[in-house]
Amino acid sequence: MQIAIVLYDRFTALDAVGPYQVFSSLPGAEVVFAAEQAGRVSDDERSLHLSADAALADVPHPDIVVVPGGPGQNDQMDDGPLHDWLRAADQGTAWTTSVCTGSLILAAAGLLAGRRATSHWLALGELGQHGAIPVSERVVFDGKYVTAAGVSAGIDMGLTLAGRIAGDQTAQAIQLGIEYDPQPPYDAGSPDRAPADLVRTMRARSRFILTGRPT
Amino acid sequence: MQIAIVLYDRFTALDAVGPYQVFSSLPGAEVVFAAEQAGRVSDDERSLHLSADAALADVPHPDIVVVPGGPGQNDQMDDGPLHDWLRAADQGTAWTTSVCTGSLILAAAGLLAGRRATSHWLALGELGQHGAIPVSERVVFDGKYVTAAGVSAGIDMGLTLAGRIAGDQTAQAIQLGIEYDPQPPYDAGSPDRAPADLVRTMRARSRFILTGRPT
């Protein structure tokens, strides 16, 4: 079972590494990080660099595709090699997935038309503009399309999908192995429960937060 | 504020990237991945490669040190360059931290003697053998020494410490930015609540789980 995690300039590290940590423990999994060109890919902070061991063209038939989000997503919205690859790979995948604003790329490539999907809470409106039906849930399944909310939601997506693929026992073993018993020190991870002024400030700054560029 | 995240062969990716994702959003943070020698460092699955942009010797005075765990921790328990660097860097740190079995390395370097500390649930016994006082909690503070439980606990550690460093509001903004509103599909992330037979099996296989090598 080949799992291709797509990298591009200015991706968000945890978007990719959360699902990676889960999927790489699946029995029979071969995980490969792939980018338009093989080589070192920098994250949105420019202080983390992951190796893309393969070019997209070297991974034509993955069983699972994972598209992370991040400020660099904005540069991946036009038709081109990544969209072509996504559409072709999707023909043969068992699961096509995304984390955070990765769903905007899937939608822009035409893969989420009329499908229920989610994204970072600040990007749900834009997701709708690209033809998907935005859903404010942590992990959304629509057929073989699985989308996760912002950044850290990729861990929940990974475990949920691991259960579908390999059964509850295996997914639970992975959860216990990574001691995923989350105890956030604050209850501020959702716009529904974070302090209202913080949510307002972040909505006002959302273009900067999503793109990393001043408005 | 310089934050040095230590890499070594066969580290666990999420141990490093969880705290990274939080700390890299702290105002004024400069995060650097450092290893004994600069270059590409492979994780325990051998399918993820992170760049260590600095050699340890190039980062003599970090404000925060983060030591991740992973099967490769076993090869970092003897006195040598990493221990020397940890002891020297620790003289000037504001915070010396670890995730998962990274605490075993801190303990072996002599930095946790008589201190309350935690580790991966399968490694708490070994932590005690290296002079620390093992505590079965998610995030443990003892003065400036902050240790996190297994793998995913580094996110909770990161947010908790971010609050101490930059205040609750900033930490909550980071939490909302990474949408850390965890919703695991199972309640199996702690040995206290995971299925008992799974816990038994993993305890029996713990040497393999912790080292990646057959018993």
Which residue among B155, B177, B191 sits closest to A209, beta carbon to beta carbon? B177
Q: Residue A207's pLDDT is what? A: 83
In chain A, the residue whose alpha carbon lies closest to the alpha carbon of B170 is: A198
Mutate to test the interface with A, among B66, B99, B152 (most CBs of A within 10 A): B152
Does the pLDDT at position B215 exceed 80? no
DSSP B67: E
pLDDT recorded at residue A211: 85
Q: Please give the pLDDT value at position B208.
A: 82
Is the pLDDT at A215 greater than 70? The verdict is: no
Choosing among A42, A45, A47, A151, which should be mutated to test the B contact, i.e. which has the most B CBs within 10 A? A47
pLDDT band for position B142 (cuts 50, 70, 90): very high
Instruction: Give the distance between the most distant pair of CA atoms in chain A.
Output: 47
Q: How far is A37 from chain B (nearest CA, A)?
A: 16
- Find chain A residues with C-beta within 8 A of B152's C-beta: 21, 155, 178-182
Q: How far is CA B156 from the centre of its chain?
A: 11
DSSP state of A27: T
pLDDT in the model for residue B207: 84
Interface contact flag, A40 B24, Cβ < 8 Å: no
Q: What is the pLDDT of residue A60?
A: 98
Helix residue spans in A36-138 (DSSP H):
81-90, 102-108, 124-129
Q: How far is Cα B68 from Cα B209, in angstroms, rounded to an integer?
A: 16
Share of chain B above pLDDT 70, in %: 99
Chain segment B1-12, per-residue pLDDT in tens:
999 999 999 999
Contact B120 A40 (CB under 8 A): no
For the annotated catalytic residues of A, the residue numbers are 100
The number of beta carbons lying within 10 Å of the beta carbon of residue A116 is 16
Nearest to A180 among B32, B173, B189 (CB): B189
What pLDDT was estimated at residue A153? 98
Query: Using one digit for the tens of pLDDT, what is the confidence trace for A72-106?
Result: 999 999 999 999 999 999 999 999 999 999 999 99
Q: Tokens standing for B191?
A: 């040995």
Contact B30 A21 (CB under 8 A): no
If you ran DSSP here, which 8-state letter would residue B171 be given? Answer: H
* pLDDT, tens only, A143-192: 999 999 999 999 999 999 999 999 999 999 999 999 999 999 999 999 99
In angstroms, rounded to a whole number, what is the distance separating the alpha carbons of residues B25 and A184?
17
Task: Give the whole-angstrom CA distance, residue A33 versus residue B194.
Answer: 31
Work out how many CB contacts closer than 8 A connect A with B: 224
Which among B180, B203, B207 is the top mutation candidate for probing chain A, defined by the most A β-carbons within 10 Å of its own β-carbon?
A: B180
d(CA B209, CA A90): 34
Helices (H), B79-167: 81-90, 102-108, 124-129, 153-166
- The conformation of residue B44, written as its DSSP 8-state character, comes to T
Whether A167 contacts A118, CB under 8 Å: no
Q: What are B22-76's pLDDT values in tens digits?
A: 999 999 999 999 999 999 999 999 999 999 999 999 999 999 999 999 999 999 9
CB contact under 8 A, B177 and A151: yes
A203 interaction partners in chain B (CB closer than 8 Å): none
Task: Give me the mean pLDDT over the B203-215 stretch.
Answer: 82
Q: What is the pLDDT of residues A114-149, one digit of tens each?
A: 999 999 999 999 999 999 999 999 999 999 999 999
What's the rounded mean pLDDT across residues B165-194? Answer: 97
- Point out the least confidently predicted range of A32-41, A203-212, B55-64: A203-212
Could you report the per-residue pLDDT of B123-140, keeping only the tens digit for each? 999 999 999 999 999 999
